[in-house]
Homo-oligomer: A and B are copies of this chain.
Amino acid sequence: MTKDSVRKKVKVHFEPDNVDIVVETGANLLEAAIDAGVRLTASCGGAGTCGTCKVVIKAGEVETHRTAKLSDEEYEQDVRQACQSKVLTDLTVYVPVESRLEKAVVTRESKGTAETVATGWRFRPLLSKYFVELPLPTIQDNASDLSRLLRGLKQRHKLSNMTVDFDVVKKLPKTLRDSNWKVTATTVVTAVKPRAADRRRPRLTNIEPGDARGKHYSLAFDIGTTTVCGQLLDLNHGQVVAEGIDYNAQISYGQDVISRIAYCQKGGCPKLQRAVVGTINGIIRQLLDESGVGLQDIGHLAIAGNTTMIQILLGLDPKYIRLAPYTPAATFIPPVKANTMGIEVGEHVYLFTFPLVASYVGGDINAGIVGAGVHQRKTLTYYIDIGTNGEIVVGNSDWLVAAACSAGPAFEGGGIKHGMVATTGAIEDFDINPSNLEPTIGAIGGEKPKGICGSGLINILAGLLEVGVVAQNGKFHTDLPTKRVRPGKGGHEYVIAWASETQIDKDIVITEADIDNLIRAKAAMYAGCQTLVNSVGMTCRADLEQVIIAGAFGSHLNIEKGITIGLFPDIPRDRFTFIGNGSLLGARLTSFSTDLLDDARMVARMTTNFELSENADFMKNYVAALFLPHTNADEFPSVKEKLEKLQKNKVTQRTTV
């Protein structure tokens, strides 16, 4: 088929959303879907390599570049990869359930305790409101409006040495007179005291008529590669008023930070910026709707996120993050007016982004360390954020070392045949009967399953290992008395749910390729931890006193199973705690306390970054960890013992049977 030389307007209709978009012939179908607001998964960012954006062409014609991701059967059934298809005529396109991103991400509660949340800070928000009644100007005292206000703030509230935003001067004369010289001033502290002797300079950012102290809110956000979480904070009461979560709309342009950076390198940075700003704006609207709080009553916005997410959000080209030696633009980014980035808040609102450590140890990790109070205790802590990058930190109040492990997206369901994020229909619970090797599964929301999320994958792999369906090298035993282990494309697979039990009318399986991905991911994280701990002359088993697990699946992860596959070190289970979204926790607590703001800056400075990608010890540790749980069984004595015991039981069982 040749290309049309003349471009025409055609209409693409998407089902089951029932939305239409008009595009020119030749348009990319994935882009058309994104523009139409249809939420498609596209893990690889449109490179054609992940096969997650499959759609069914029900009517009309496309020109498709066929890749190995499309089976003959699929091709005959008019299944196409949207990213590989050009629109030629009017189309009707059906988006199957497994290609859809659903908004109903389950929000998970943090289970932080006194040991894993920063303590000792005073409730003293970055944002403050001060009410003043000013004396009316007279001919004897006709100081300027601003002088009068500053004098009032000094006399009444001991505020001095302020920086004043020009926008405040602009609205001051009218506001003062309209409110009969009774006004509320908003100040924000963004800079941290560079020296103890220097005083903190509050910045006067807003002026409101009358006593507006009752309406005193701010926003805290975590911008993740996959999801964006926001909280509306009541700064009078130190409470979360509303909470919202949504997929980062950038996800349609690539699943991990590397594919996002690659997209930016092709000139896509403004598009990605608009995408994430759109997500943020959607969450803000949702928070306001839920709480009934007015947009103008929000006075501040604190955002934590990984370095790539923050740079894209701010329009700072992230390309050097990907190129050795991996330098970010800045570790401390000056506060900017949020509306200049397209974020729909009042023009007085500054966007504070968390200080970061390095290109791959971002403000999200720093926020997590501060929020969890790792820097406050002598306890030697291993902090692990199980996301796409797999960032880890080891240390205590004296020192902190950090690294990104490039674990890959396996624990978020990426690169896994039936992997998916932890949303409704994702299998997360898994148990297997050691006798007949039949599974018992549980999916989020109690629905029929449509895929497997990260915690489910860990449970499945551990379960299969324990009953001997999978060997310690990650390969299936093929001589077992079960139909569930069967040959598949490129290796064996285990059927977790038969097609009839699923939403997708296909068998949900875990393949040897999936297991290989998982082993590589867990090996990277374990080797990373080992490398950091060893670098300070310690060992994981002897010295780690606490493990704090942050991340999307956080509290639903089974620690025992994580240790079984060698993801976590084999130390007493009571040393583990989940804190859920550590990044959001840090953003919130810092919004509540300038003490923690100072800490955030200090922690960013004191944390030493390890570039594992070029570290010889890491490579050695990584190769040694490519086994279940590890090539060195002495690293995992309890797992060794358990597996030996289970093996013995099974032999006994089989003998008994």
Task: Please give the distance in Å from A355's CB to the nearest CB on chain B.
Answer: 10
Expressed in whole angstroms, the Cα–Cα distance for A532 and B335 within the complex equals 47
Interface string of A117-148 (1 = CB under 8 A from B): 00000000000000000000111011111111
Residue of B nearest to A136 (CB): B325
Please give, as numbers and ranges, the residues of chain B lying within 8 Å of A164 by CB-CB distance. Answer: 330, 334
Please give, as numbers and ranges, the residues of chain B lying within 8 Å of A336 by CB-CB distance. Answer: 166
Please give, as numbers and ranges, the residues of chain B lying within 8 Å of A169 by CB-CB distance. Answer: 316, 329-330, 333-334
* Docked-complex contact A145 and B327, CB < 8 angstroms: yes
- Of A192-200, A482-490, A589-597, the stretch lying at the interface with chain B is A192-200
Please give, as numbers and ranges, the residues of chain B lying within 8 Å of A191 by CB-CB distance. Answer: 163
Residue of B nearest to A335 (CB): B166
Expressed in whole angstroms, the Cα–Cα distance for A166 and B169 within the complex equals 22
CB under 8 Å from chain B, chain A span 318-361? 319-320, 324-336, 356, 358-359
Of B197, B320, B359, which is within 8 A of A197 by CB?
A: B197
Q: Is A614 an interface residue (CB 8 A)?
A: yes
* Docked-complex contact A142 and B331, CB < 8 angstroms: no
Expressed in whole angstroms, the Cα–Cα distance for A333 and B356 within the complex equals 34
* Docked-complex contact B334 and A145, CB < 8 angstroms: no
Please give, as numbers and ranges, the residues of chain B lying within 8 Å of A334 by CB-CB distance. Answer: 163-166, 169
CB under 8 Å from chain B, chain A span 189-213? 191, 194-195, 197-199
* Docked-complex contact A173 and B316, CB < 8 angstroms: yes
Please give, as numbers and ranges, the residues of chain B lying within 8 Å of A316 by CB-CB distance. Answer: 169-170, 173
Residue of A137, A146, A198, A611 with most chain B CB atoms under a 10 A cut-off:
A146
Q: Is A172 an interface residue (CB 8 A)?
A: yes
Q: Is A296 an interface residue (CB 8 A)?
A: no
Expressed in whole angstroms, the Cα–Cα distance for A139 and B615 within the complex equals 10
Q: Is A315 an interface residue (CB 8 A)?
A: yes
* Docked-complex contact B143 and A331, CB < 8 angstroms: yes
Q: A142-B359, A163-B191, A325-B138 are in contact. Are A172 and B330 (CB under 8 A)?
A: yes
* Docked-complex contact B327 and A166, CB < 8 angstroms: no
Q: Is A161 an interface residue (CB 8 A)?
A: yes
Please give, as numbers and ranges, the residues of chain B lying within 8 Å of A139 by CB-CB distance. Answer: 324-326, 611, 614
Please give, as numbers and ranges, the residues of chain B lying within 8 Å of A161 by CB-CB distance. Answer: 194-195, 198
Expressed in whole angstroms, the Cα–Cα distance for A2 and B138 within the complex equals 49
Please give, as numbers and ranges, the residues of chain B lying within 8 Å of A333 by CB-CB distance. Answer: 166, 169
* Docked-complex contact A330 and B137, CB < 8 angstroms: no
CB under 8 Å from chain B, chain A span 177-194? 177, 191, 194
Please give, as numbers and ranges, the residues of chain B lying within 8 Å of A314 by CB-CB distance. Answer: 166, 170
Q: Is A573 an interface residue (CB 8 A)?
A: no
For A, the interface residue count at a CB cutoff of 8 angstroms equals 54
Expressed in whole angstroms, the Cα–Cα distance for A320 and B141 within the complex equals 14
Please give, as numbers and ranges, the residues of chain B lying within 8 Å of A194 by CB-CB distance. Answer: 160-161
Please give, as numbers and ranges, the residues of chain B lying within 8 Å of A66 by CB-CB distance. Answer: none
* Docked-complex contact A327 and B199, CB < 8 angstroms: no
Task: Please give the distance in Å from A205's CB to the nearest CB on chain B.
Answer: 12
Residue of B nearest to A146 (CB): B330
Q: Is A174 an interface residue (CB 8 A)?
A: yes
Q: Is A570 an interface residue (CB 8 A)?
A: no
Expressed in whole angstroms, the Cα–Cα distance for A191 and B161 within the complex equals 11
Expressed in whole angstroms, the Cα–Cα distance for A176 and B137 within the complex equals 52
Please give, as numbers and ranges, the residues of chain B lying within 8 Å of A359 by CB-CB distance. Answer: 142
Q: Is A512 an interface residue (CB 8 A)?
A: no
* Docked-complex contact B331 and A144, CB < 8 angstroms: yes
Please give, as numbers and ranges, the residues of chain B lying within 8 Å of A391 by CB-CB distance. Answer: none
Please give, as numbers and ranges, the residues of chain B lying within 8 Å of A412 by CB-CB distance. Answer: none
* Docked-complex contact B611 and A146, CB < 8 angstroms: no
Q: A139-B324, A173-B320, A315-B170 are in contact. Are A331 and B146 (CB under 8 A)?
A: yes
* Docked-complex contact A325 and B137, CB < 8 angstroms: yes
Please give, as numbers and ranges, the residues of chain B lying within 8 Å of A198 by CB-CB distance. Answer: 161, 198-199
Expressed in whole angstroms, the Cα–Cα distance for A91 and B197 within the complex equals 72
Q: A163-B334, A316-B170, A334-B165 are in contact. Are A329 and B138 (CB under 8 A)?
A: no
Task: Please give the distance in Å from A139's CB to the nearest CB on chain B.
Answer: 5
Residue of B nearest to A195 (CB): B161
Task: Please give the distance in Å from A230's CB to the nearest CB on chain B.
Answer: 22
Q: Is A317 an interface residue (CB 8 A)?
A: yes
Please give, as numbers and ranges, the residues of chain B lying within 8 Å of A330 by CB-CB distance. Answer: 144-147, 164, 169, 172
Expressed in whole angstroms, the Cα–Cα distance for A151 and B148 within the complex equals 40
Q: A334-B163, A611-B139 are in contact. Are A329 and B197 (CB under 8 A)?
A: no
Residue of B nearest to A191 (CB): B163
Please give, as numbers and ranges, the residues of chain B lying within 8 Å of A141 by CB-CB distance. Answer: 325
* Docked-complex contact B317 and A173, CB < 8 angstroms: yes
Q: A163-B191, A191-B163, A194-B161 are in contact. Are A329 and B611 (CB under 8 A)?
A: no
Expressed in whole angstroms, the Cα–Cα distance for A169 and B333 within the complex equals 8
Residue of B nearest to A315 (CB): B170
Residue of B nearest to A177 (CB): B320
7 shortest interchain CB distances as A-B pairs: A146-B330, A142-B325, A144-B331, A144-B328, A139-B325, A166-B336, A166-B334
- Complex A-B: 12 CB contacts under 8 Å: A137-B327, A144-B329, A144-B356, A144-B358, A145-B329, A146-B329, A146-B331, A147-B330, A147-B332, A160-B194, A170-B315, A198-B199
Given contacts A169-B333, A174-B317, 7 further A-B contacts (CB under 8 A): A137-B325, A138-B325, A141-B325, A142-B325, A142-B359, A144-B331, A161-B198
